């Protein structure tokens, strides 16, 4: 069996949803440096539009968007997004770890977020998702 080359590796896609342009730009740079492809959205409507035509592995969603709460946006995601890792970003305390959405949120992160913490949470949740939903052998 030959080792996987760069061209054979699947690039992870991330959607960053926040109305703060600096956060969109910063998180996009952090994720791109780790090999992710990124898209951004400033509103829940824009995020839903993008999700309707593209599959994402992870979504970073601000709790307070101009048109919708982040947890309400998660509840409106299409069925095809069920396997997407969903992480809510918030600058507000307290975060109730027992609060659940349908579908559930994978993690809540308190702003400001250190780049290494962001990447660690994303990777941990992607690994957890892949263990629950292994890719079938071809």
pLDDT in tens, 6-28: 334 568 999 999 999 999 999 99
Q: Determine the Cα–Cα distance for residues 128 and 119; give it in Å rounded to an integer.
A: 14
What band does 130 get if pLDDT is binned at 50, 70 and 90? confident
pLDDT in tens, 39-83: 999 999 999 999 999 999 999 999 999 999 999 999 999 888 888
Contact in structure between 38 and 11 (CB atoms under 8 Å)? no
pLDDT at 119: 97
Mean pLDDT of the chain: 85
In the sheet that holds 107-110, the strands lie side by side as 37-41, 13-17, 58-62, 85-90, 107-110
pLDDT at 104: 83
pLDDT in tens, 86-111: 999 998 765 555 555 556 899 989 98
pLDDT at 93: 61
């Amino acid at each position: 069996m030959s080792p996987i080359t760069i061209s054979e590796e699947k690039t992870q896609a991330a959607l960053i949803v926040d109305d703060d342009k600096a956060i969109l730009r910063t998180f996009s740079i952090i994720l791109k440096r780790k090999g992710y492809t990124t898209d951004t959205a400033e509103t829940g409507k824009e995020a839903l539009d993008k999700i309707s035509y593209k599959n994402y592995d992870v979504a970073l969603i601000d709790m307070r968007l101009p048109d919708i709460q982040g947890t309400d946006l998660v509840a409106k995601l299409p069925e095809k997004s069920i396997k997407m890792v969903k992480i809510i970003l918030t600058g507000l305390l307290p975060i109730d770890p027992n609060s659940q959405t349908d579908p559930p949120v994978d993690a809540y992160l308190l702003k400001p977020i250190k780049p290494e913490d962001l990447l660690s949470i994303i990777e941990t949740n992607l690994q957890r998702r892949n263990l629950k939903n292994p890719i079938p052998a071809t």
